Homo-oligomer: A and B are copies of this chain.
Amino acid sequence: MADTPNRTTYTVESLLAVTVQVFNARGYDGTSMEDLSRAAGISKSSIYHHVRGKEELLRLAVGRALDGLFGTLDEPAATSGRPVDRLEHVVRRTTEVLLTELPYVTLLLRVRGNTGTEQWALERRRDFDHRVAELVREAVAAGELRAQVEPRLATRLLFGMINSIVEWYRPGSPQADGVAEAVVRLAFDGLRA
């Protein structure tokens, strides 16, 4: 407990790190400001010093995941080159963002859309999926993917595989190394020798 930041050292970022753990453990709907205050070890008024309330914390937390995911689409390797290589880059980097921002992406994937912030997060997730499906389409059109690949279905299966990693991945686990590489190789080259 010696490392728990006290009221004066709390920042929005350290508050978010605690918040996202509580949201993932209890669910957003099941978390009260009281729960957050207890978990952070600071008073509710200290929390309100940083944010307007629970929904703003949710927006900041899923926003962090979304910024990471969308950021991959603007990287040079995602914006120039052959569509299939841009797609491969996005698949690899999306997996890496999931691994490095694990609790934030986990929270994003659990959002179901009951509040305005949740609706906004779902819409941005759909936007992201559409951007990737568009890349798949370009790669198919360029003859770089197998002709039978249906872009929307392929995108769903790709993200199904990537997103499922939050179910079992724990930082530092023996399989931590090479997860992104394994995803890319399976998705683009398949398992078969």
Interface on A for B, CB 8 Å cutoff? 84, 136, 139, 143-150, 152-154, 156-165, 167-168, 175, 178-179, 182-183, 185-193
Contacts and interface: CB of A to CB of B under 8 A. Distances in A.
13 contacts: A144-B192, A145-B192, A146-B189, A150-B178, A153-B178, A157-B161, A157-B183, A160-B167, A161-B164, A163-B164, A186-B187, A189-B190, A189-B192
B190 A190 contact: yes
Contact of A161 (B148, B160, B175): B160
Which residue, A143, A164, A165, A178, has most C-beta atoms of chain B within 10 A? Answer: A164
Given A146-B191, A191-B145, A154 B182 contact: yes
Given A156-B164, A161-B157, A164-B157, A150 B193 contact: no
